[in-house]
Amino acid sequence: MEFLSQTQEQLVREQFPSLVDLRTQIHFTYWSELHLVTQELCDQLPFGQIFSATSFYRLIDFQLGSLVTAAQRTLTLWALIGVRQYNGSLVDQLALFHDETFLWHYSVPPKRQEILYQIRNGNRVRFLSRFFLSQAKIELEFSEIRLLSSGDQLVYTDSKEYTYDWVTSTWETHVHNLEFSLIDPRVYTLPILIPNTSGQETEYQDQLERLQALPSTLILETDYWGSVTTTSSLPSLTSRASTPESEYHRSRALASPPLPDVCLCGTDVCYCEAPVPNTPPTPSYIFLWKPSQHSHPIKGLHYDRHTG
C-alpha cells in the first residue's frame, strides 16, 4: 500500500488489522480492480463448503446480518485506500466466484457418498457459487448439486439468490430454478473433468484441510425445522421453514447496520453526511440529491438550477 499517505496507512492499520489479498486465495476466484478485502468478509463467505438443507438455512437464518456488517467494513476500507479505476472513479465493486477445481476435485470427493445419500433421499445440497458487492447492493448466489442416474454423475444447477439493498436495508430472495427433480434434471451443468491447479496442489490441499477442520455442513438435522421460530441476529424475522425445503418468497427485513465513519456513496448520489477523505467541500450553491431526504431529484434545487 505504498500509494497511501501516512495518515491513510495509520487509519488502515488501526481499523483493519487483518486484511486478505485476493490473489492468494485458491478456493475462490475474483474480479475487481482492487485485491484487498477485510478478513471479516472472507470469514463470512463459505466458498468451497457443501451445505445440507438444514445447514444452508442456518446460514441464511443467522449469518446474513454479520455478512452485511463485514461487507460494509470492506467498502469503508476501499474508501480509505482510495484506489481509482482507469476513468478516475473509486473502485467500488467486487465479484467472487467459486473455484471449480477446488470444489469438484478437492471439496466434493471426500463427501461424495454423503451427497449421494442426501440427494437420493430427497434433500437438497447447495454450495456458494457467487458473491457480489457494490455501493448499491450485495448479492449472494447459491448453486445446487444434483444427480444423473446414469453413472451416478454429479452435476449442478442454479438455485437461489439473496440480494441486499443498502438503501432499504432489506434482503430479497430470488429462486432461479423451480425444477423439483433432484435426480436427472432437465437443465444442468457438468463439473470440470480435469483439474486446473496451476502447480498449486499443495495450496489446494492445505485449504481443504482447513475446511475439513471446521464443523461439518452436510449434517442433516430434521428437528431444526420445528425448533426455529425467530433468530437472535434477526429479531423481527419469524422463520417460515416448516419443512426442509420451504422456500422464502418474501423480503427479509434486517436491522440496519450502523452507518460507517466515511462516505461510501458514489460520485452522483450521496446517502450520508461523512465525506470521503481529502474530498473538497461542495460549493454552497450546489444541493446534492440525497435519497434519504427526497425520493426524487427536485428540479430547480438538484438540477437545472441557475444562479444570479
- Residues contacting residue 151 through CB under 8 Å, at least 6 positions apart: none
Q: Which cell numbers in the block locate residue 165?
A: 439493498
In tens digits, the chain (308 residues) has pLDDT values of 545 566 666 777 777 778 899 999 999 999 877 788 899 999 999 999 999 999 999 999 999 999 999 999 988 888 777 766 666 666 678 899 999 999 999 999 999 999 999 999 999 999 999 999 998 999 999 999 999 999 899 999 999 999 999 999 999 999 998 888 999 999 999 999 999 998 999 999 999 999 999 999 998 887 665 554 433 333 333 333 333 344 333 334 444 444 444 555 554 455 555 555 555 666 666 776 666 566 667 776 666 665 54
Q: Where are the beta strands (DSSP E) in the chain?
A: 19-21, 28-31, 36-38, 94-98, 125-133, 137-148, 153-165, 170-175, 252-253
Q: How many CA atoms lie within 13 A of 8 on its CB side?
A: 17
Q: What is the enclosing helix (H) or strand (E) of 5?
A: none
Share of the chain above pLDDT 90, in %: 49
Number of residues assigned to the chain: 308
> Is 94 within 8 Å of 37 (Cβ atoms)?
yes
What pLDDT score was predicted for residue 271? 52
Q: Dihedrals φ, ψ of 154, to 5°?
A: -80, 135
- Residues contacting residue 62 through CB under 8 Å, at least 6 positions apart: 231, 232, 233, 234
Q: How far apart are CA 292 and CA 154, in angstroms?
A: 48
| C-alpha dihedral sign at 257, 259, 262, 266 | positive
- Residues contacting residue 12 through CB under 8 Å, at least 6 positions apart: 1, 4, 19, 77, 80, 81
Model pTM?
0.72
Q: Can you state the percent helix, strand and coil of the chain, rounding each to 5?
A: 30, 20, 50
What pLDDT score was predicted for residue 192? 94
Residues in a beta bridge with 38: 19
What pLDDT score was predicted for residue 14? 75
Q: How far apart are CA 246 and CA 175, in angstroms?
A: 12
| C-alpha dihedral sign at 46, 162, 33, 5 | negative
Q: How far apart are CA 93 and CA 133, in angstroms?
A: 6
What pLDDT score was predicted for residue 158? 95
- Residues contacting residue 281 through CB under 8 Å, at least 6 positions apart: 275
Tell me the domain boundaries of the chain: 6-253
What pLDDT score was predicted for residue 116? 96
